[in-house]
Structure 1
């Protein structure tokens, strides 16, 4: 009997080509979408822009990606646009020709720093998809004030079998008028490549690490983290502990993954791992025309390292490192250290006074109710649980006095995998929740500034394979996937700014195969995405897309917002990307 470990991964690995059926009459819709179109349709918002003129710097234009080589480009800051900007936005457009092709990882770089990280949409024999992505790079302004070398990397195999050629263009758009102190003073890439590339982490002991000697007046520090599952780890969320791998026909190694940050070997923070499902994942029909949550455009998770500011300012070299607990070959990782400096002090001193993350290894608790009956049928659950609460506290003596910084987090992982396996049925139902609840507090005298964040990555995945009496087979998949985030900033007990984000995708499809294993078609394809963002200053964004049979069947926007219209303040970040300006200097 073919199991999920063979079928789900096999479809992606073989680059299954299917023709989108149906030629529904096209009707115009909002936001450039066309009802009845098979082209990519997402509900994600664009990056909001400030009013006024903008300056554009082209990075590359209509470049083809048909091999595994890099595509280098040169960058120079925009002329006549100042050196401080209210906002900087990366815009990129991609397409892939119709035919057979894998989903591919795409990255853009400058001076070793990642500008964009995502994956591509798979084509079909009849559809050449196109898509647009944006990323707010305002916090990387220090990097963009100087000329440098960059490169685009989309490794892509093109031959007589895999025919899809990827094309891409990218540019940076600058909005002048920002003030000094609004953004980090320096950006340091982790990794050895001076132009930029990811680092492979094959196991939990592998590290992406860099030793840095920083300026002696660091007062705040943050690490932007990307950890993307690839290779044998692409479907990590379906894996089971080694002890149960054979009887469940699943990958071993367990399904707990978490990014670990350290400074000089001392635990310094954690970052959750998003269970991305790429557009060839499990069943390619699920993601046409709408991919999974943030599949085409990742956002980094920002780890607050400010309690270490005094230590990092001592003039000595310090190693900043990133690893992925549970990695099984492999994760692709990159990170960037963002640093604020005290403009009035040549030397900041300080130290860590408490770190309860040390001594709390990321070791989950495993439970199982799996049992085999008298007929050899297997049923039951495997549970994986981990919850850690920790506090990291340090102080820095700045030009304004002593500032105490405390980061308190509760990080959790809850997963239940339910199995039913008998001669005709293989059913695996995974319900998973990755969560982080964090509080960053900075205190100078009686004045306290706080920032809270609650992040959730829910995943509900059911795969049911049934073999009929004639040997034919059906494989039904349903997926519910989400990104949820609530943030709040306060000063001296006064609420200043808060946001709420919900991004939900639901998809279903059933693949069909004859007794020889040949693919014969699919039924029941449907997909919906609902996106909502709001803040306490009047921003409100809502959009939903729906598809049936691989064609866009519905689009709405503004529902539930005042006057039924979307409105976003230019400084808001409705994609949930981090913004260090959430923290004001004390």
Structure 2
């Protein structure tokens, strides 16, 4: 296997100590092998997608040497062959690349509204390709508008050493029909509670029962208006947060007939904070005289403010990019969320009483304990009362204390242990008076976070264990106190990384790593239930010089399951040294 040069502009420079190489890192993988398809395990698989009513290619571009250049922008117009209304819209992202290249972060925006946050896979000499499909039905009101700009940012470097060019095609798939795209295991009966999910819409216009993959049952219609909370677009529409003290903001004026508001938050972490969950405290770095800026401890929380007041926050899922920790783990099956990074919804409806005054309000985004650098922006989804020009609103209860954070540390030299425990509970209630009557929304949520880091053997053996649990309840009632809808969400993001590093006299070192991470989520809305269980385990070793992998062996297994009232789907995949050895999927429910 060939030895490769390392482009240090995107990497951290450390002193050559055991700590440096027991820290998670980014690497380039060895070249070699045949052309191969990469993938992220998710539901629904592309092979089970129905035929769309029409397809609409919206982007086709090659990203070569794009570093320090403006993002690529092209005009957007709605499809002419299948006009609205659409029951579903899917974004299909196709990419291919060959040569040597690092993984890159990328995003797609329409009129400044982010549609997809993704990262690239690291290519081979023979080439790789992959597809990402994402349900983007919630942006339908935007797809209706002509004369918009579609923008994609993917900063890449091409020179004598790094030859990989990313060729990207993006297509929208529009569906006019309603369908269930998998074997139905029980007769589908609409949930009585969900039939009255949206009193404004049921009063002002007819409502459709939409059966969507990913959430079987009745779904609410997309927002009437989506406002981006983003940068000016000259360097992409994401804000770049480089320190905790700096929050990024934009002034927004909300239409006065808004009766519901949900902020969708997009987040990714890079540079010194790419592996924030493994960062030691600054006291450890200073005491040992380490030449690294990857500190500030192992807790991060992304928060949203309105006029300087925190209205919501999220601890992000620790996505591992394809060059992270050990790139041999992520071929051809990438880590959870690497191709389709998650976004996070924050229900702002109870705060409408503060912002429905016809004035500008400042929406901000920041990162607790964040260091360089984070890419963040948000989409504000608004539902409008079309039978009223002004909706009156007022907050009733706002219980939102600061996050409780406890830290413990004990170390001697390069060996030591560090604990971070955090928790938060909030409850917010507000009402709006609409053309359909009084609607009161209560949002209750909380989370607990635990992170444990241990260094042993003079820092050459490092263990990271992290647990995150979150719960959210949204209750909406009418003026008589009768339930309109209820939503319950529970999430768990456990993570474990063990790294053992051995150095050799020729300047190379061997890294043996064991990684386990997963996503466990459950959604309950009325009588509709959806659960996802996605577990990935990787282990292996690599011989490294600088940031280039010379050789190694790796294996990854993934067990994915999706269950709702109508659909059961599971897929079990195992890969060894870049080859799929097992891939079994079924739509049969386990009893």
Aligned to 1:433: 467
Cα distance change on mapping 1:252 and 1:10 into 2, 3 Å? closer
Q: CA deviation at 1:524?
A: 3.6
Tell me the SS of whatever aligns to 2:30: coil
Q: 2:394 aligns with which of 329, 347, 351?
A: 351
Mapping 1:315-330, distance limit 5 Å = 315-330=358-373
Aligned to 1:365: 406
Q: CA deviation at 1:521?
A: 4.3
Q: CA deviation at 1:256?
A: 0.7
Q: 1:207 aligns with which of 247, 251, 266?
A: 247
CA deviations over 1:80-106 (Å, ceiling 9, x no partner): 4233211111101011112x2111011
Asked if residue 405 in structure 1 is aligned to residue 441 in structure 2, the reply is yes
Of residues 288-297 and 465-474 in structure 1, the stretch that sits farther from structure 2 once superposed is: 465-474
Cα distance change on mapping 1:74 and 1:489 into 2, 3 Å? same
**Contact in 2 for aligned 1:367/1:383 (Cα 8 Å):** yes
**Contact in 2 for aligned 1:506/1:527 (Cα 8 Å):** yes
Cα distance change on mapping 1:262 and 1:466 into 2, 3 Å? same
Aligned to 1:540: 568
Number of equivalences: 528
**Contact in 2 for aligned 1:190/1:208 (Cα 8 Å):** no
**Cα distance in 2 between the residues matched to 1:519 and 1:182:** 49
CA deviations over 1:404-462 (Å, ceiling 9, x no partner): 1111111221101122133xx61110011222211111111221221011112211111
Q: CA deviation at 1:349?
A: 0.9
Mapping 1:274-285, distance limit 5 Å = 274-285=317-328
**Cα distance in 1 between the residues matched to 2:159 and 2:49:** 45
Tell me the SS of whatever aligns to 2:386: coil
RMSD, aligned CA: 2.7
**Cα distance in 1 between the residues matched to 2:309 and 2:257:** 21
Cα distance change on mapping 1:223 and 1:518 into 2, 3 Å? closer
**Cα distance in 1 between the residues matched to 2:325 and 2:553:** 15
**Cα distance in 2 between the residues matched to 1:87 and 1:3:** 53
CA deviations over 1:155-177 (Å, ceiling 9, x no partner): 10000011111111001111126
**Cα distance in 1 between the residues matched to 2:273 and 2:549:** 29
**Cα distance in 1 between the residues matched to 2:381 and 2:469:** 24
Structure 1 unmatched runs, 5+: 24-36, 491-495, 564-586
Tell me the SS of whatever aligns to 1:157: coil
Tell me the SS of whatever aligns to 2:584: strand
Aligned to 1:82: 83
**Cα distance in 1 between the residues matched to 2:577 and 2:45:** 30
**Cα distance in 2 between the residues matched to 1:10 and 1:150:** 35
Q: 2:30 aligns with which of 18, 23, 30?
A: 18
**Contact in 1 for aligned 2:22/2:462 (Cα 8 Å):** no
Tell me the SS of whatever aligns to 1:347: coil
**Cα distance in 1 between the residues matched to 2:233 and 2:162:** 32
Tell me the SS of whatever aligns to 1:364: strand
Q: 2:579 aligns with which of 551, 558, 574?
A: 551
Aligned to 1:40: 38
Aligned to 2:556: 527
Q: CA deviation at 1:118?
A: 0.8
Asked if residue 443 in structure 1 is aligned to residue 477 in structure 2, the reply is yes
Cα distance change on mapping 1:53 and 1:292 into 2, 3 Å? closer
Cα distance change on mapping 1:275 and 1:7 into 2, 3 Å? same
Q: TM-score, normalised by structure 2?
A: 0.83
Q: CA deviation at 1:353?
A: 2.0
Cα distance change on mapping 1:51 and 1:519 into 2, 3 Å? closer
Tell me the SS of whatever aligns to 2:87: strand
Mapping 1:472-487, distance limit 5 Å = 473-487=509-523
Q: CA deviation at 1:314?
A: 2.3
Asked if residue 502 in structure 1 is aligned to residue 533 in structure 2, the reply is yes
Q: 1:190 aligns with which of 213, 218, 229?
A: 229
Q: 1:239 aligns with which of 268, 272, 279?
A: 279
Aligned to 1:493: none
Asked if residue 420 in structure 1 is aligned to residue 456 in structure 2, the reply is yes
Asked if residue 111 in structure 1 is aligned to residue 111 in structure 2, the reply is yes
Q: 1:455 aligns with which of 467, 491, 497?
A: 491
**Contact in 1 for aligned 2:30/2:551 (Cα 8 Å):** no
Cα distance change on mapping 1:110 and 1:541 into 2, 3 Å? same
**Contact in 1 for aligned 2:404/2:423 (Cα 8 Å):** no
CA deviations over 1:368-416 (Å, ceiling 9, x no partner): 243x3xxx6x544210010011111111112222211111111221101
**Contact in 2 for aligned 1:272/1:301 (Cα 8 Å):** no
Of residues 51-60 and 451-460 in structure 1, the stretch that sits farther from structure 2 once superposed is: 51-60
Aligned to 1:331: 374
**Contact in 1 for aligned 2:39/2:131 (Cα 8 Å):** no
Cα distance change on mapping 1:471 and 1:76 into 2, 3 Å? closer
**Cα distance in 1 between the residues matched to 2:566 and 2:221:** 22
Aligned to 2:200: none
Aligned to 2:543: 512
Q: CA deviation at 1:135?
A: 1.4
**Cα distance in 2 between the residues matched to 1:524 and 1:78:** 47
Q: TM-score, normalised by structure 1?
A: 0.84
**Cα distance in 1 between the residues matched to 2:304 and 2:239:** 15
Aligned to 2:197: none
Cα distance change on mapping 1:344 and 1:558 into 2, 3 Å? same
**Cα distance in 1 between the residues matched to 2:54 and 2:369:** 44
**Cα distance in 1 between the residues matched to 2:252 and 2:508:** 59
Of residues 341-350 and 240-249 in structure 1, the stretch that sits farther from structure 2 once superposed is: 240-249
**Cα distance in 2 between the residues matched to 1:455 and 1:3:** 37
Tell me the SS of whatever aligns to 2:402: coil
Tell me the SS of whatever aligns to 2:542: strand
Cα distance change on mapping 1:79 and 1:47 into 2, 3 Å? farther
Q: CA deviation at 1:470?
A: 9.3
**Cα distance in 1 between the residues matched to 2:453 and 2:275:** 14
Tell me the SS of whatever aligns to 1:292: coil
